[in-house]
Structure 1
Amino acid sequence: MLFRSYVPRAPLSEFVDDFWLYEDYTGAHSWERILPSGTFEMVFNLREDELRIYSASDPRECRRFAGAAVSGPYAGAFVSDTAEEAALLGVHFKPGGAFAILGLPAAAFTNLHVDLRTIWGPAATMLRERLCVMTRPLARFQLLEQVLLGKLYEPPARHGAVGVGLDVLMRTHGRERVRDIAKAVDLSPRRFIEVFTAEVGLTPKLFGRVRRFQHAAASSRSAARTDWAKLAVECGYFDQSHLIREFVEFSGLTPAQFHERLNTFDRSGMHVKRHHLPSAD
């Protein structure tokens, strides 16, 4: 398996965490559950002109997209099949970053995948075709960087309160109250929620819950054994029951099931993708 990542240059780096590439990705499992992260992803399938997305609750429910698509911020998990992930190239946006490049309200993408050609027209198909014929990872990254720089709105119409809110919610792992952030940026709670959702795609409360879940999941993964009651308090949950409900809502699994599944793949030495949870089959 080949895995490469690339951090784009400024000013694109203000909006994009990195580009990533997988080639010849295989595994003993057939499915991967993709967990909510509060971010956008732009994905190109370099082997076939299709991306298949399955419901986390019913694997028979499949939505099909072209080989270039945008995944908006989700409030729950969805599933992909590894058969189509042999060669994927993607853009991992920073929270709120896709708004400056897509030029559309992020809220329009909440819990959705959208064909990139719906947004960019034939240029999206041409871009994917050019990426497919390239063989060097760096050349692919540089082409993608050039295209995204050309799409970057100057100056991006970003509200200053959104950046402050994102910084606080990410730094505190979602523990800060929305009304306190709104007060700090001199906006009413209603107005703050409005501008935040338009640029991020999730309300600040939901974004904070997703970030807290991600923090709890990462904290549990770093420990061989987890005291769930203690972790719940440390991560800002009311109690262990609250932690369990949030894990089930965002991953479809209890904390114990989540931890055991990750440990199974960690022990095997398998590479686990960012925000992915391989199935146990």
Structure 2
Amino acid sequence: MQIAPPAILTSLVKHFLVLENDSPAQQHHRLSPDGHAGMVFYYKARFSAFSNTGPVHPRSFVYGQISQFHDLASGGAIGMLVVVLQPYALQTLTGILAHTFTDQLISLPDIFGAAGSQLEEKIVLAENDQQRLQLIQHFLIHKLQQHPAAGRLLTAAMAHIQQQHGLMQVGQLIQTLHISERQLERQFRAHVGLTPKQFLRTMRFQYLLKCIQQTPEASLTQLAYETGYYDQAHFIHEFKQLAGITPTQYLTQTRLLAINFMQLPA
């Protein structure tokens, strides 16, 4: 279930997600890059990394941008609330440079100390999703008042990239924003956690996934061409790098919980 944030949080939060699965059986999932960092709060069983013998996720954590797919395993009924942040919001939330979090997850108590521990405990004790959302929103509003939001340059860059669905070159972005490549790179590392080139690659991939979902009758070759993948071999190679499977397998062998979060066959 996807939930829009209140107006006061739209500069920080893209949306909230509530994900639940009551199956007690072990299941495998895969998370692909989507251009967003976020926060996760578990209130039932937790995912572990890669297999049921891998390290179990903290009860709550902040995760950074991911540059490749990540595999997860669950061994019980999962209940989690995810805060999907705006691409440039991680430093505003934490006061820490965004590239510190790239391909990492860090527990809330490790970042926010006692305030993180208290929020984590309240989420576990909350009786329903509405209570959990209220607790998290109150916490985020407080953090928004503590750290400055991303500047106009970065928000303008994001607006332009999203308008073009990532189908552009870094040079075009530099020309549009009238800044140097070094300035742009520094802003992206600090606030997004990826280089501009990496972020454009991720956004183009996300646009491709949306096109696949919205026009399932279209051929993959046609969709690849329309989303800027002009070489079939490059298209398949990049898809496998970011999703871990081929485009055909994505269509036929997965159950999507979100556009970039899939349940893999047993």
Q: Deviations over 1:63-118 (max 9, x none)?
A: 33420111111011112223356211221112112221111111111111111111
Name the stretch that deviates more: 181-190 or 218-227.
218-227
Report deviation, 1:127: 0.7
Q: SS at 1:272's partner residue?
A: strand
- 1:109-148 equivalent positions in 2, closer than 5 A: 109-148=101-140
TM-score when normalising by structure 2: 0.91
Residue 35 of structure 2 is matched in structure 1 by 38
Percent of aligned pairs sharing the same letter: 26
Tell me if 1:193 matches 2:185: yes
Cα contact 1:100–1:153 (8 A) shared by 2: no
How far apart, in 1, do the equivalents of 2:239 and 2:129 lie?
36
Cα contact 1:68–1:128 (8 A) shared by 2: yes
Q: Deviations over 1:233-270 (max 9, x none)?
A: 100123211211110110111111111124xx4xxxxx
Name the stretch that deviates more: 143-152 or 167-176.
167-176
Q: 1:63 to 1:14 in 2, by over 3 A?
A: same
Cα contact 2:39–2:82 (8 A) shared by 1: yes
Residue 6 of structure 2 is matched in structure 1 by 9
How far apart, in 1, do the equivalents of 2:145 and 2:234 lie?
41
Residue 64 of structure 2 is matched in structure 1 by 72
1:168 partner amino acid: H
Q: 1:224 to 1:7 in 2, by over 3 A?
A: closer
1:280 partner amino acid: P
Q: SS at 1:14's partner residue?
A: coil
How far apart, in 1, do the equivalents of 2:19 and 2:57 lie?
19
Name the stretch that deviates more: 251-260 or 18-27.
18-27
Cα contact 2:52–2:73 (8 A) shared by 1: no
How far apart, in 1, do the equivalents of 2:47 and 2:111 lie?
16
Residue 165 of structure 1 is matched in structure 2 by 157
Cα contact 1:35–1:250 (8 A) shared by 2: yes
Q: 1:97 to 1:27 in 2, by over 3 A?
A: farther
Q: 1:137 to 1:64 in 2, by over 3 A?
A: closer
Tell me if 1:241 matches 2:233: yes
Cα contact 1:53–1:62 (8 A) shared by 2: yes
- Unaligned ranges ≥5, structure 2: none
Residue 278 of structure 1 is matched in structure 2 by 263
How far apart, in 1, do the equivalents of 2:25 and 2:132 lie?
28
**Aligned with residue 53 of structure 1, among 49, 56, 61:** 49
Cα contact 2:89–2:150 (8 A) shared by 1: no
Report deviation, 1:62: 2.6
Q: 1:80 to 1:147 in 2, by over 3 A?
A: same
Report deviation, 1:229: 2.4
How far apart, in 1, do the equivalents of 2:217 and 2:233 lie?
18
Equivalent pairs, count: 266
Residue 268 of structure 1 is matched in structure 2 by none
Dislocated runs of 4+, deviation >4 Å: none
How far apart, in 2, do the equivalents of 1:64 and 1:29 lie?
14
Name the stretch that deviates more: 220-229 or 162-171.
220-229
How far apart, in 2, do the equivalents of 1:5 and 1:273 lie?
10
Report deviation, 1:197: 2.1
TM-score when normalising by structure 1: 0.86
Cα contact 1:51–1:65 (8 A) shared by 2: yes
Tell me if 1:204 matches 2:200: no
1:36 partner amino acid: P
Report deviation, 1:153: 4.0
How far apart, in 1, do the equivalents of 2:53 and 2:199 lie?
26
1:277 partner amino acid: M
Q: 1:28 to 1:213 in 2, by over 3 A?
A: farther
